[in-house]
A and B are shown apart, each in its own frame.
Chain A
Amino acid sequence: MKRLRADLHIHTVLSACADLRMSPRRVVHEARRAGLALIAIADHNAAANGPYVRRIARGNPAVLLGMEIQSQEEVEVLALFDDEWACLTLEEELYKDLPDVDCDPDLFGDQVVVDEQDNIVRTVRKLLISPVPWALPDVVRRVAQLGGWSVPAHVDRVPGGLLAVLGLLPEGDWPEAAELSPWSSANDTIEQWPALGRLSLLRASDAHFPHEVGRGWTELRVTEPSLAELRAAVQGVEGRSVSLGPPCKEGR
């Protein structure tokens, strides 16, 4: 069993709101700088830069593919995958259903797919920060069908976090865990939303700028940095565990 640091919510230049320097190469560089052994790439409703990050990193750090999906209710969900095909399949399904609104780069910023050598592969036409017209339970179900795992992103954020939007945790066995905002104290957040006390809390950076990578992290006690081990750690299987890194003090 190893102890390792994970940052499971990192944006790249594919998110219009992220810094243009957040190319796959730069993200890998920053993740190594921050001592992360596992990262997840989670752009808004899109995943296309994840495979490049993974190919550049070659295991250092291990890279999960993912997306930050905004449901019809305007709840933001981190969807994480090991499998590239599964993640890109979901990306394609979501893109088809996204509102047909063009991203105006002057207003929103650029949405760019960038390869291993920092070359621009393509720009994405539709505005990715629109909610997809999928109800939250359907998002959760589809992610699971494709072998992925989903948790509410920055669950305590107002608005955009699940608790602000839905007021209460949904009934049923989802979610098992929830991402906390980089700045939030777990105790204060649980005091405000007692229902969170029964979930595993994960901290991540939600980095949009290079220096933000790793500003929030979770320590995993696992055998290897993978999605299966992350899930086992959340469930506390055979001595595996997750523990929350400290709140980020700056850059709010």
Chain B
Amino acid sequence: MTVAGVVEHLALDVLAEGDLSTLVTGGYCSDLLSDVLAHAGGGDVWITHQRHMNVVAVAKLKEVAAVVIVRGAAPNEQMVERARAEGVNLLMSGESAFQAAGKLYRLLSG
């Protein structure tokens, strides 16, 4: 499954497009960036409420496949621009973290 496939199946908005053909190997849910630094894996789709600029830096460092901001809480333009500049796939879901993670889990296990 690629990021593009996840975007389609979860009906996500693409806020910033890096490489949508990146392979998705897992998922991680957390709003604590220190926890993401310690435990997320490369290739994960990272599901979060956080909209601070450091999200982009952490996503880049961990080489996650994509970041999904949930509940339709749009980040500011600065963060979107940074994600674009860094080639990070920044996505948004109108659903809750629970729903987005549930759908992703089913998709990756299926």
Contact = CB atoms under 8 A, between A and B. Distances in A.
Contacts of B51: 72-73, 135
Contacts of A159: 32
B76 A166 contact: no
Q: What bracket does the count of chain A residues touching chain B fall in?
A: 10 to 19
A165 B31 CA distance: 7
Contact of B54 (A72, A74, A158, A167): A167
B36 A167 contact: yes
A168 B33 contact: yes
B21 to A, nearest CB: 27
Contact of A171 (B32, B50, B53, B58): B53
Q: What bracket does the count of chain B residues touching chain A fall in?
A: 10 to 19
Contacts, number: 43
A163 interface: yes
A168 B62 CA distance: 13
A73 B50 contact: yes
A171 B56 CA distance: 12
B34 A74 contact: no
Interface of B: 31-37, 50-54, 57-58, 76
14 contacts: A72-B51, A73-B51, A135-B76, A137-B53, A159-B32, A164-B35, A166-B34, A167-B32, A167-B33, A167-B36, A167-B57, A170-B52, A170-B54, A171-B53
